[in-house]
Amino acid sequence: MNLLLEWTSAFFLLAGGFLCITGGVGLLRMPDFFSRVHAAGVTETLAAPLLLCGLMLQMEWSLDLVKVFMILVFVLATNPTATQAMAKATLTGGQKPLVTGNDAAKGDSPSNS
Amino acid sequence: MLTAAIIAILVTMILALVRAFLGPTEYDRMLAANSFGTKTVLLIALGGHALSWHSYLDVALLYAMVNFVGTIAVMRFFENSKQDGKEGSGGAS
């Protein structure tokens, strides 16, 4: 049982770390603000619960476990909200999403999806 | 495994900082700052457990709340200031 917990925690931590780095690389290398929001928001929303679940599996039963669970719920609730608010503020502020030539020829308003 | 996760979080924080310095617009900088804040919460939680600090989870929880409220407030400020300043490009959408 202990070994199973340890291996599951290690898997969660490694997957969360990999997703973290993926989000960072996407944040740095994507060409456009909206794709950067996508890269950062999607990976953060999955990486934070994975890392915190891996941390929870390593702790014993105490109040700290409940606190980590509260952090998990809070991050899971606020992270998509903040991402959506940022994208909406950018769109209202006058920035247009970068589209390719094929998409631009099809429709003139790609931002209303 | 905690060490590997902490190193991954640190690398991601460095990448977010590079984007915050490079960012062409202020929205990019704010996105990088928000990402940096979330990674700070994770770093406090994991690093506090690895180094067995005292009451680190309260700090992490408070940091998450302040990060969220700060991001929303700054985005509100940018949204309104841009709409007032440039009516030609921002008013249509």
State pLDDT tens for residues A20-37.
999 999 999 988 889 999
Cα B22 to the center of its chain, rounded Å: 15
Q: How far is B9 from chain A (nearest CA, A)?
A: 6
What B18-22 contacts at long range (C-beta under 8 Å, 24+ apart), as own/partner pairs, is: B18/A28, B19/A27, B19/A28, B19/A36
- Cβ–Cβ below 8 Å for A92 and B1: no
pLDDT the model gives residue B83: 52
Tell me the angle at which helices B26-51 and A63-92 cross, rounded to the nearest 10 degrees. 170
| Residue B35 sits at the chain A interface (C-beta within 8 Å) | yes
Interatomic CA distance for residues A72 and A45, integer angstroms:
10
With 70 as the cut, is the pLDDT of residue B92 above it?
Answer: no
What global pTM score does this model have?
Answer: 0.83
- Cβ–Cβ below 8 Å for A93 and B82: yes
CA dihedral B1, B4, B9, B15 (to 10 degrees): -160
For residues A39-56, average pLDDT = 91
The beta-carbon neighbor of A14 closest among B1, B57, B75 is B1
Q: Output the CA–CA distances (angstroms, integers) from residue A4 to A10, A11, A62, in the order listed.
A: 10, 11, 20
With 60 as the cut, is the pLDDT of residue A108 above it?
Answer: no
CA angle, B12 as apex, A94 and A40 as ends, to 5°?
Answer: 35
The beta-carbon neighbor of B78 closest among A40, A47, A93 is A93
Closest C-alpha among A4, A2, A51 to residue A23: A51
With 60 as the cut, is the pLDDT of residue B87 above it?
Answer: no
Q: Name the strand (E) or helix (H) holding B56.
A: helix B56-85
Interatomic CA distance for residues A30 and A38, integer angstroms:
10
Interatomic CA distance for residues A24 and B20, integer angstroms:
12
pLDDT category, A66, cuts 50, 70, 90? very high
For residues A14-18, average pLDDT = 93
Other Cβ atoms within 10 Å of B16 Cβ, number: 25
With 60 as the cut, is the pLDDT of residue A84 above it?
Answer: yes
The beta-carbon neighbor of A82 closest among B57, B71, B89 is B71
Q: Is A59 left (phi over 0), alpha (psi -120 to 50) or beta?
A: beta
Residue with the bigger pLDDT between A54 and A102: it is A54
Q: List strand residue ranges (DSSP E) for chain A, in order.
A: none
* Nearest-by-CA chain B residue for A23: B12
> B3-60, pLDDT tens digit by residue?
999 999 999 999 999 999 987 888 899 999 999 999 999 999 999 999 988 889 999 9
Residue with the bigger pLDDT between B66 and A110: it is B66
Helix %, strand %, coil % of chain A (to 5): 80, 0, 20
Q: Is-contact B28 A36, C-beta < 8 A?
A: yes
pLDDT the model gives residue B88: 44
